[in-house]
């Protein structure tokens, strides 16, 4: 069979989609421009002359108030964790554990204060570090580099400290090493990516923290603890381990305060909060609501704390710490100083003057940045910049007048205090509006690239549809329709490359690939249109349309309208944020609707009420008995759809939603009996899956040979189940309940997953080398042996491709000989021949299922077993419906089957505990089989990606079963009691029930059918992708674009890349 043209055609179509996706993403997810400018002490932003004289040596812009500062970052320290509520008699594990902070704030109200520390989304650690050091806002695309950090080139607080001769010491999260290379006087980095490790980073910090503080060889000490964040990821906030970790942090702070001097400022901050499941990354209230605690042994505040803690943006910390330590504010800062920290010990007027001074410096710095930024970027609206300039000019004018009156002593204190308060309010208004304008506008788009990407994707979808229709009419079209597009694309790419070479401009590889893709698409459509007259003549030979009855035309239209209507509704729903939020319920509803419409259409066409054959009367209609089997399948399918809803994850937009209990690992269960029952249930169902697969293979004769693959299925499938069960057992045990076995368990947690990885890899390798599970036995003595072209034993896939037609021919000759002699003695026995292709796919799906179940929590294995059951039922519904419809073309898969297959993949994306939002990503999958940190980001990205798109991977690999399953389900005539027929009729009937061996009779049709199926699959997937990118482009200024549409688009893009990298293939 000619496989390479088919694979090459599909690879070319995938390239077209990749080019469209890349072009759109380059226009939609652009980072803001980072200015290379840097602040310095010589900048004209100094205080007025009457205050400049009081600047102590070494201070810039404002008097240095503290010589040292300690910044303790407790990752994921939510405000709820730091806030103390004495009225709670029975606090939750994360409540009232930081009692030392409460004691300091109540006993020394002028020395300590707690704030709500509002994080800017996305609430990923790397983006929060950028905000805490630069005073600027990260854009949406920055979240993609959370685990591939790059050095911060923008002016930042650490760079200012080093530039002014200060010593910065760091200990903790090694993310800082990539962000600030060569910026630390001394550093102690610890691996941070293993979210299952609660203690390595924290214990390493505690080992160095107190000796470093006592040494005094530092000016800014940063300690970034990760235990609280990792505990949230592993157990969630409502877990005893969280209470232990917060108690450890409380004791750390108590000891740290004892080691601080009077000239040291202590800042305890959380970079973000966490959801009820311990995740973060989005913009829900729990994720952005972190905590900030400020303390000094010298008085900080001139007034008593408010009843409710004040909420301040995280970027406000940068200008505050910079001026307190006497260094310039970073150039790109848009934060507002925390004026209450500049109160001092004087009266109200002197306090207001000090606060006005820092506000004046802060406002001039922000105005300078906005002016510089507007010169190099056009993404800040001109009218809003004009309003900001008016606010700034008005405040500066009043500031100049007020200072002149202060120097002339023409104002009495009450009036002066009122004027100072009014001017401070004007500066505050300017700074807050400037930050709001930047936050709203820093989503820079390139409309032309977005339109170009959408056009490429739309043209790719049209190409898939046209090519799939051509495949049905012309079996070998893909050879002639592939050469011209490839040549066109190659010529355009070469011409663009030469143009760039002659003009000596930078080569934009993405644009070159996009133009090449567009040229190849144009070449395809040009060649197709050139063949149009020939097709028109062929169509003209068909019966005229007038001879076709209205009912027949209506049936033909409905055959395509029902599935395409469902697809159109799904695509249209992507333009509504409400439907995107509720997609976990929309996808199952559309899938169930499509199946029910299929049954209704069969009834409409009269396929369920044929008068011939066995039938039953119901409501005046005569129904076939086969319909009851179909209805039972539909009922089972609806039950599967309903049960899949028990494995859902929640979005923050649905506050009344509660996440499924099956999402949490068994280790989080406190009830030992419930834990054991769930464990036994998961293992039993996993063993049941292996039993069902082996029984199916045995039923069709695919376990009779002694080939390595067959032996692997017999013996290694149970071994894989045993390794998974052992891993679940050790992973679900409590960390503190193992005692001396802890070290052995740590080895087992790594060894058992690697055993599964190894066994599954061996199985897939055997499947690729020799996918045939056929056992042939010839009982005739006179018949020649079945040999390969090299006259040897078949040992490779190529040999088997030569052997199988001989087996088929031998069976036909044997049948003819038996009929001529009238003998019933079989002369050729072939086992597994009728399911030779499906067996290979079933084995591959089982191995992939083992790997993907290993990457999820234990109880989600129940969802995977439900996935396999629903896919099995869908295949049987498709087979029965195709049989009842009397489809005369066995080599074509109808549209409803392809659309329902992809809807089922989307349904189980949600039913395996996922959502298209960043907090729902299962980061734990990156450390299944790995105890320490990864040396590269590639492997964890593969593991997390496989976990996220597990359902799409399985349904993409299993897509060829839509073509193969109707052949597998052919029932041999010998199993039915029928009247005796003539020998020639009997031979013809036997040949009709050869199952998948019928594909060998028409290898060209088989290749074309696989290509048509792949193109239909890509068309449905590409249509959904097109709807996503169009919705994101049209609604790019929508309020919910970054919360709903952008994560959804990002998920569909990754899903498309993942699936298109796994095109449906079978051994050809």
Q: What is the pLDDT of residues 986-996, one digit of tens each?
A: 444 444 456 77
Rounded CA separation 785/31 (Å): 68
| Token representation of residue 347 | 């009266």
Q: What does the angle CA 446 – CA 450 – CA 454 come to, to the nearest 5 degrees?
A: 175
pLDDT at 1050: 52
Which H or E run contains 448? helix 447-473
User: Is the pLDDT higher at 68 or at 419?
Assistant: 68
Radius of gyration of the chain (CA): 35
pLDDT at 82 over 60: yes
Q: What is the model's pLDDT at position 735?
A: 58
Confidence of residue 6 (pLDDT cuts 50, 70, 90): confident
Q: Is 514:459 a contact under the CB 8 Å cutoff?
A: no
Distances (CA, A) of 132 to 278, 331, 409, 482, 537: 22, 14, 40, 54, 71
Element (H, E) at 221: strand 220-225
pLDDT at 52 over 60: no
Claim: this prediction has a pTM higher than 0.75: no
Q: What is the pLDDT of residue 279?
A: 78
Q: How confident is the model at residue 816 (pLDDT cuts 50, 70, 90)?
A: low
Burial of 718 (0-12, 13-18, 19+ CB in 10 A): middle
User: Do 1015 and 892 form a contact (C-beta atoms < 8 A)?
Assistant: no
- Which residues lie across from 117 on neighbouring strands? 290, 312
- Quickly tell me which residue has 């290749």 as its tokens: 1007
The mean pLDDT value for 1025-1036 works out to 83
**Which tokens sit at 114?**
């707690």
* Per-residue pLDDT tens digits for 411-444: 667 777 788 888 889 999 999 999 888 877 765 5
- pLDDT beyond 90 at 1049: no
What value does the mean pLDDT take over residues 453-482?
79
Phi, psi of 186 (to 5 degrees): -150, 145
| Least confident interval from 33-42, 357-366, 723-732, 939-948 | 33-42
Q: Quick one: what percent of the chain has pLDDT higher than 70?
A: 77
**Tens digit of each residue's pLDDT (9 = 90 or more) over 580-595:** 888 888 999 999 999 9
Q: Would you say how long the chain is, in residues?
A: 1068
Average pLDDT over residues 444-450: 76
What is the percentage of the chain residues whose pLDDT exceeds 90? 33
Stretch (H or E) spanning 961: helix 961-968
Strands (E), 102-176: 112-118, 168-173
Transcribe 556-605 into DSSP letters.
Answer: HHHHHHHHHHHHHHHHHHTT-HHHHHTHHHHHHHHHHHHHHHHHHHHHHT
Count Cβ atoms below 10 Å from residue 120 Cβ, excluding itself. 20
256-261: average pLDDT:
92
Nearest to 443 by CA among 142, 140, 137, 144: 140
Adjacent-strand bridge partners of 778: 828
Task: Give the list of residues 6+ apart from residue 65 with CB closer than 8 angstroms, or none.
Answer: 323, 324, 325, 326, 341, 342
Binned at pLDDT 50, 70 and 90, residue 817 comes out as low
| Tens-digit pLDDT profile for residues 854-899 | 999 889 999 999 999 999 999 999 988 888 877 657 788 889 999 9
Alpha carbon distances (Å) from 781 to 598, 657, 1018: 52, 72, 51
Q: Do 265 and 66 form a contact (C-beta atoms < 8 A)?
A: yes
Instruction: Enter the tokens of residue 831.
Output: 């086992």
With a CB cutoff of 8 Å and minimum separation 6, the contacts of 143 are 122, 124, 127, 281, 918
Spatial separation of the C-alpha atoms in residues 833 and 776, rounded to whole Å: 9
pLDDT band for 199, please (50, 70, 90 cuts).
Answer: confident
Of the segments 63-77, 558-572, 596-610, which one has the largest average pLDDT value?
63-77
Could you tell me the pLDDT band of residue 260, with boundaries at 50, 70 and 90? very high
- Among 119-123, 521-525, 734-738, the range with the most confident prediction by mean pLDDT is 521-525
**Of residues 520 and 791, which shows the higher confidence score?**
520
Residue 289 has pLDDT above 50, yes or no: yes
pLDDT of 779 reads 52
Q: Does residue 49 surpass a pLDDT of 80?
A: no
Is 370 within 8 Å of 33 (Cβ atoms)? Answer: no
* Local confidence band at 114 (pLDDT 50, 70, 90 cut-offs): very high
Phi first, then psi, for residue 196 (nearest 5°) are -85, -10
Of 559-563, 640-644, 824-828, where does the model show the most confidence?
640-644
Cis omega before residue 510 (within 30°)? no
Confidence of residue 971 (pLDDT cuts 50, 70, 90): very low
Distance CA 512, CA 492 (A): 8
Q: Which two tokens stand for residue 995?
A: 């199952």
- In this prediction, residue 492 carries a pLDDT of 83
Mean pLDDT, all residues of the chain: 80
pLDDT at 259: 92
Residue 619 has pLDDT above 60, yes or no: no
Q: Phi and psi for 1020 in degrees, rounded to 5? A: -65, -45
Q: What is the pLDDT of residues 763-788, one digit of tens each?
A: 999 998 888 777 766 555 444 444 44
Per-residue pLDDT at 45 exceeds 80: no
pLDDT of residue 539: 40
For residue 354, what pLDDT is reported?
85
C-alpha torsion sign, points 575, 577, 580, 584: negative
Q: Which residue has the tokens 């495949």?
A: 471
Q: Which of 89-93, 179-183, 725-729, 738-742 bottoms out in mean pLDDT, i.e. has the lowest?
A: 738-742
By the 8 A CB rule, do 140 and 1046 touch? yes
Give residue 130's pLDDT.
85
pLDDT in tens, 1051-1068: 555 555 554 544 444 433
């Amino acid at each position: 069979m000619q496989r390479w043209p088919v694979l090459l055609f599909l690879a070319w179509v995938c390239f077209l989609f990749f080019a469209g996706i890349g072009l759109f993403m380059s226009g939609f997810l652009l980072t803001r421009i980072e200015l290379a400018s840097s602040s310095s002490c010589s900048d004209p932003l100094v205080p007025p002359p009457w205050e400049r004289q009081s600047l102590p040596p070494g201070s810039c812009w404002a008097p240095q108030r503290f010589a040292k500062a300690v910044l303790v970052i407790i990752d994921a320290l939510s405000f709820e964790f730091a806030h103390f509520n004495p009225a709670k008699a029975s606090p939750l594990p994360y409540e009232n554990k930081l009692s030392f902070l409460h004691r300091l704030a109540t006993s020394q109200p002028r020395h300590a204060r707690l704030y709500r520390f509002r994080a800017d989304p996305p609430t990923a650690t790397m983006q929060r570090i950028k905000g805490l050091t630069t005073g600027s806002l990260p854009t949406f695309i920055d979240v993609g580099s959370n685990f591939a950090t790059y050095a911060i080139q923008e002016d930042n607080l650490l760079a200012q400290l080093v530039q002014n001769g200060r010593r910065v010491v760091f200990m903790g999260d090694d993310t800082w090493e990539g962000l600030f290379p060569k910026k630390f006087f001394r550093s102690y980095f610890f691996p941070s990516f293993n979210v299952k490790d609660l203690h390595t980073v924290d214990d390493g910090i505690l080992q160095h923290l107190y000796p470093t503080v006592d040494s005094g060889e530092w000016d800014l000490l940063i300690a970034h603890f990760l235990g609280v964040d990792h505990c949230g990821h592993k157990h969630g906030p409502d877990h005893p381990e969280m209470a232990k970790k917060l108690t450890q942090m409380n004791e750390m702070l108590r000891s740290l305060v004892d080691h601080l001097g009077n000239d040291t400022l202590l800042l305890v901050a959380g970079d973000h909060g966490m959801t009820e499941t311990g995740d973060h990354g989005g913009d829900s209230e729990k994720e952005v609501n972190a905590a900030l605690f400020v303390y000094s042994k010298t008085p900080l505040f001139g007034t008593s704390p408010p009843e409710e803690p004040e909420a301040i943006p995280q970027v406000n910390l940068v200008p505050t710490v910079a001026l307190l330590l006497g260094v310039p504010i970073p150039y790109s800062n848009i934060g507002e100083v925390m004026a209450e920290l500049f109160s001092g010990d004087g009266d109200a007027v002197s306090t207001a003057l000090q606060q006005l001074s820092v506000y004046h410096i802060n406002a001039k710095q922000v105005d300078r940045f906005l002016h510089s930024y507007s010169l190099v970027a056009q993404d800040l609206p001109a009218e809003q910049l004009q309003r900001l300039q008016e606010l700034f000019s008005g405040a500066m004018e009043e500031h100049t007048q007020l200072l002149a009156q202060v120097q002339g002593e023409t104002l009495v204190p009450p009036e002066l205090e009122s004027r100072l308060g009014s001017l401070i309010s004007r500066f505050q208004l300017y700074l807050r509006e400037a930050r709001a304008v930047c936050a709203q506008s820093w989503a820079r788009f390139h409309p032309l690239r977005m339109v170009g990407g959408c056009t490429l994707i739309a043209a790719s979808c049209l190409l898939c549809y046209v090519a799939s229709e051509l495949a049905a009419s012309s079996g070998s079209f893909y050879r002639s329709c592939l050469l011209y597009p490839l040549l066109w694309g190659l010529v355009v790419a070469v011409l663009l490359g030469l143009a760039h070479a002659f003009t000596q401009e930078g080569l934009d590889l993405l644009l070159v690939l996009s133009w090449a893709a567009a040229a190849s698409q144009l070449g395809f459509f040009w060649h197709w249109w050139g063949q149009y007259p020939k097709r028109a003549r062929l169509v003209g030979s068909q019966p005229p349309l007038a001879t076709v009855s209205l009912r027949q035309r209506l049936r033909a239209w409905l055959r395509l309208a029902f599935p395409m209507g469902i697809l159109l509704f799904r695509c249209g729903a992507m333009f509504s944020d409400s439907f995107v939020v509720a997609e976990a319920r929309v996808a199952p509803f559309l899938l169930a609707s499509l199946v029910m419409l299929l049954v209704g259409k069969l009834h409409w066409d009269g396929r369920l009420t044929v008068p011939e054959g066995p039938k039953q009367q119901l409501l005046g209609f005569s129904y076939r008995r086969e319909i009851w089997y179909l209805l039972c399948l539909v009922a089972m399918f609806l039950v599967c759809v309903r049960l899949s809803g028990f494995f859902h994850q929640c979005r923050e937009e649905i506050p009344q939603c509660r996440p499924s209990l099956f999402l949490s690992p068994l280790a989080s269960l406190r009830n030992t009996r419930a834990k054991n029952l769930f464990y036994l249930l998961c293992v039993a169902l996993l063993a049941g899956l292996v039993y069902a697969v082996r029984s199916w293979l045995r039923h069709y004769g695919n376990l009779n040979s002694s080939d390595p693959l067959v032996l692997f299925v017999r013996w290694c499938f149970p071994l894989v189940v045993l390794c998974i069960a052992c891993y679940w057992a050790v992973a679900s045990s409590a960390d503190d309940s193992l005692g001396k076995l802890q070290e052995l368990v740590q080895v087992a947690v790594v060894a058992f997953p690697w055993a599964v990885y190894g066994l599954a890899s061996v199985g897939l390798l055997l499947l690729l080398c020799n996918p045939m599970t056929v056992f042939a036995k010839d009982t005739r003595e006179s018949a020649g042996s079945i040999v390969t072209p090299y006259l040897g034993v078949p040992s490779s896939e190529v040999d088997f491709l030569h052997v199988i037609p001989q087996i088929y021919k031998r069976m036909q000759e044997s049948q003819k000989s038996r009929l001529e002699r009238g003998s019933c003695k079989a002369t050729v026995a072939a086992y597994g021949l009728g399911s030779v292709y499906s067996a290979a796919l079933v084995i591959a799906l089982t191995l992939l299922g083992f790997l993907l179940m290993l990457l999820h929590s234990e109880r989600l294995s129940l969802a995977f077993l439900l996935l396999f059951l629903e896919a099995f039922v869908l295949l049987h519904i498709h087979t029965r419906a195709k049989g009842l419809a009397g489809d005369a073309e066995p080599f074509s898969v109808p549209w409803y089957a392809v659309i329902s297959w992809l809807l089922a993949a989307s349904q189980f994306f949600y039913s395996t505990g996922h959502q298209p939002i960043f907090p729902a990503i299962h980061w734990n999958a990156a450390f299944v089989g790995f105890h320490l940190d990864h040396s590269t980001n590639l492997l964890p990205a593969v593991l997390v990606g496989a976990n996220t798109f597990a359902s799409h991977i399985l349904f993409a690999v299993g897509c060829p079963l839509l073509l193969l399953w109707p052949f597998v389900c052919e029932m041999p005539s010998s199993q039915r009691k029928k009247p005796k027929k003539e020998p020639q009729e009997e031979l013809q009937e036997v040949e009709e029930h050869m199952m998948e061996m019928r594909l060998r009779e028409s290898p060209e049709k088989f290749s074309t059918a696989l290509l048509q199926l792949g193109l239909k699959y890509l068309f449905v997937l590409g249509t959904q992708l097109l709807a996503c990118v169009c919705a994101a482009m049209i609604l790019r200024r929508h309020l919910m674009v970054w919360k709903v549409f952008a994560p959804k688009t990002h998920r569909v893009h990754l899903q498309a890349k993942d699936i298109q990298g796994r095109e449906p293939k079978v051994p050809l």
